Amino acid sequence: MAKRVSLREFQEGLVKRLADAESAPRRDLLGLAAGERNWLVDLSDAGEILPVPPLASVPLTRPWFRGLANVRGTLFGIVDLSAFCGGPVINTGGSARLVLVGQKHGANCGLLVSATTGLRSPDDFEPDNAPYQPHDWVSHTLRDSHGRPWHHIDVIRLLGHPSFLEASAA
């Protein structure tokens, strides 16, 4: 049987949870691993994260375009982030995940990643002042406390990048 809580206890508990949430560190970046690289996506750009469903292959497309996924009746084009960047193709089993990144921007697109590495705070990183950025759609590179580089994806620039839009093998 459910425990009965008075309105006063409920309100006090709610005030406490809101205060705890305000004092908690900001976690507005999603960490991703794809191949040998670490990536960051703004949490506001990351839609749903889900295990990899069956993918329908699309003939005459580049190897990094892994196919179409049906997510609750909506088709999403799936791009293997590692292969798109010249790395190895990601195995769709195990810890691989789909991150649906395009819905907010009007594109049904998902990124296939090796794993999600959790929510991160911008305070967990230091700027990497190297002038080289690996791709036009990487807004900047950061370094974590272990010195590992993390590339911050500008999702809007990625979705509009000519090489990302050209999935045909022709």
CATH of the domain at 46: 2.40.50.180
Residue 75 has pLDDT above 80, yes or no: yes
pLDDT band at 2 (very low <50, low <70, confident <90, very high): low
Domain coverage including residue 126: 27-165
Bridge partners (DSSP) of residue 79 are 65, 111
Residue 18 has pLDDT above 70, yes or no: no
**Does residue 90 sit within a domain?**
yes
**Does residue 9 sit within a domain?**
no
- Of 2-16, 70-84, 85-99, minimum mean pLDDT range: 2-16
Q: What value does the mean pLDDT take over residues 38-64?
A: 94
| Residue-wise pLDDT tens digits, 101-139 | 988 888 999 999 999 999 999 988 998 887 767 799 999
**Does residue 6 sit within a domain?**
no
CA distances from 55 to 39, 44, 77, 110 (A): 23, 26, 9, 11
**Does residue 97 sit within a domain?**
yes
| Residue-wise pLDDT tens digits, 146-159 | 999 999 999 999 99
**Does residue 21 sit within a domain?**
no
Q: What is the pTM of this model?
A: 0.82
**Does residue 142 sit within a domain?**
yes
**Does residue 19 sit within a domain?**
no
Domain count, the chain: 1
pLDDT score, position 26: 59
Residue 38 has pLDDT above 70, yes or no: yes
**Does residue 12 sit within a domain?**
no
